[in-house]
Chains A and B, each alone.
Chain A
Amino acid sequence: MNGFFMVVGLILCFLVLLVLYRVIFGPGVFNRIAAISAIGTKTLIILLIMGFLYNRVEMFVDISMVYALLNFIGCIAAAKYLEMEK
């Protein structure tokens, strides 16, 4: 089972690199915001998988929940900033 989680985690890490391309070169700000939020959700799952690998899920669930909340607030803040720019 650990091997399965390891493989899934590595695939997700690779996907984060793919999305990172969109963050750096992506045309327009909205692509970047969407890409950053996608990276956030992938990081959340990677954190949980790390929790399974270390057999301490209950700790990593706490961290990943905080990560999800702050990701949401950061997304709203970026959108609000763009709205004020106009």
Chain B
Amino acid sequence: MIFRREDIIVSTISRILVPFIQIYALYVIMHGHYSPGGGFQGGVILGASMVLLLLTRGYDEATGRVSENTITLLTSAGVLIYAGIGLLCLFFHGNYLDYGKLAALLHVNPAHARSLGILGIETGVGIAVMAVMYSIFLDISTGGVLPEDEEEQ
């Protein structure tokens, strides 16, 4: 279990750095077509920023901002976005993940629809990876025993 410890250097640096890491993660997700990166890498950076928050602020404050239930929901929501966009293409007479068929829904030309479709996919992957990374780290750092369980015992 990670507790908060008053350390002005570490806590100040992480407070300044976390928003920039998150902005950078969004850039990696958005700019994945042209530069190295994409959904998975951006999700890992986003998860790393939350891990940094947990390391420097302790378990209570970190889960006060993003609770474990929210993280579990986000894990499923990311997969739902991915699978949902894929299935949506089936309804427009295309193959699974055939974004070009989404042009009829989005009222744009097929090339633009492909770009938007892959951005949606990457967003879903990013959310899922971020949530899974954070929840794995949470489980490892608490040893799988949550504070609520300890109080019940």
Contact = CB atoms under 8 A, between A and B. Distances in A.
Interface of A: 58-59, 62-63, 65-66, 69-70, 72-73, 76-77, 80, 83-84
A80 B55 contact: yes
Interface in B133-150: none
A38 B64 CA distance: 35
Nearest to A70: B48
B29 interface: no
Contact of B14 (A59, A66, A76): A76
Contact of A65 (B5, B14, B24): B24
B2 interface: yes
Interface string B102-143: 000000000000000000000000000000000000000000
Interface of B is mostly: helix
A69 B36 contact: no
A76 B45 contact: no
Contacts of A59: 35-36
Contacts, number: 36
Given A62-B37, A80-B55, 12 more contacts: A58-B35, A59-B35, A59-B36, A63-B36, A69-B17, A69-B24, A70-B48, A73-B51, A73-B55, A76-B52, A77-B51, A84-B2
B82 to A, nearest CB: 23
B41 A66 contact: yes
A62 B55 contact: no
B59 to A, nearest CB: 12
A66 B28 contact: yes
A76 B10 contact: yes
B28 A73 contact: no
A65 B35 CA distance: 13
8 contacts: A58-B35, A62-B35, A62-B37, A66-B41, A69-B24, A76-B52, A76-B56, A80-B2
Interface string B47-86: 0100110011000000000000000000000000000000
B36 A73 contact: no
B36 A62 contact: yes
B45 A77 contact: no
B21 interface: yes
Contacts of A66: 24, 28, 41, 45
